Amino acid sequence: MFTGIIAALGRVESVQPSGGDLRLRVDVGKLDLSDVILGDSIAVNGVCLTVVELNHPHIGFDVSRETLDRTSIGQASSGAQLNLEKALAVGDRLGGHMVSGHVDGLGKIIDLSPSARSVKFRIQVPASLERYIAEKGSICIDGVSLTVNNVGPEWFEINIIPHTMQETIIQHYKLGHIVNLEVDLIARYLERLIPGQQTGITTETLKKHGYI
């Protein structure tokens, strides 16, 4: 599990195809690897990957065909920056929200504009994920825990403050950029727990079943 609070920006050193998948090697920058061992999990742009090479400050991951098909990791090229977060340890501060590192789908930046000192992004979302995204709810974008400010038909909006912009790869987003999305785990579990709920969760549904 992760929190969606980015610990460091890494940089792609190499992407080596291997038997249909690939080996990704990353310079982790300021990420502390003192407690990391082979086999540990690290979220890379929101994708939970297993450390298979460890030579500080460099680490390597094997990225499966399934992960390449479902995430944007396969688009990473040499020199590209990456959001990095180590797995949550018992007793760690939960500054964001509970994140699994399992990407639900891909979004696309369809609009961006200044909003005071922040930047407002509108992100197109697959129709299959739309029902899990709620105004003022949580969303994970490329591993970053964020709050949804507005929702519409197959899109949602977020505001990025200067600190988040500086400390994450969001600073590089442009129109058309593809991002990894992980919806809030609670929304997914609630849908399963509420009998007969097939069309998404509404405020009325939550009240009816005693959740609010």
Residue 128, number of CB atoms within 10 A of its CB = 10
The string of pLDDT tens digits covering residues 195-209 is 655 555 566 666 665
Least confident of 6-10, 114-118, 145-149, 195-199: 195-199
Q: In order of start, what are the domains of the chain with their CATH numbers?
A: 8-86 (2.40.30.20), 105-193 (2.40.30.20)
CB-CB contact of 128 with 36 (8 Å): no
Q: Supply the pLDDT for residue 195.
A: 63
pTM for this structure? 0.88
- Give start and end residues of each alpha helix (H) in the chain: 65-70, 162-167, 185-193, 203-208
Q: Quote the Cα angle for 94-135-210, to 5°.
A: 80
Is pLDDT at 100 greater than 80 in this prediction? yes
CA distances from 5 to 49, 52, 66, 68, 202 (A): 16, 23, 25, 23, 28
Is pLDDT at 194 greater than 80 in this prediction? no
